Amino acid sequence: MEVKEAINQRRSIRAYLEKPVEREKVEELLTLASKAPSAINLQPWEVMVVAGEERKRLSRLLVKRMKELQVSCAPGAVSRLPDEFLRRQRELFEVLSPVIPDGMQFQDFINEGSCNFYGAPVALIISIDQVFSSARLTDIGIFVGYLLLSAHTLGLGTCPIGLITAFQDEIKEELNIKENKNIVIGVAVGYPDPDAPINQIKTPRVSLEKIVRWRGI
Would you kindly state where each structural domain of the chain is located, as residue ranges?
3-200
Tell me if the pTM is above 0.85: yes
CB 192 within 8 A of CB 16: yes
* 133, 135, 147 from 39: Cα distances, Å: 12, 9, 18
Architecture of domain 3-200 in this structure: 3-Layer(aba) Sandwich (3.40)
Tens-level pLDDT at each residue, the chain (217 residues): 889 999 999 999 999 999 999 999 999 999 999 999 999 999 999 999 999 999 999 999 999 999 999 888 765 545 577 888 888 888 888 888 899 988 788 889 999 999 999 999 999 999 999 999 999 999 999 999 999 999 999 999 999 999 999 999 999 999 999 999 999 999 999 999 999 999 998 888 999 999 999 999 9
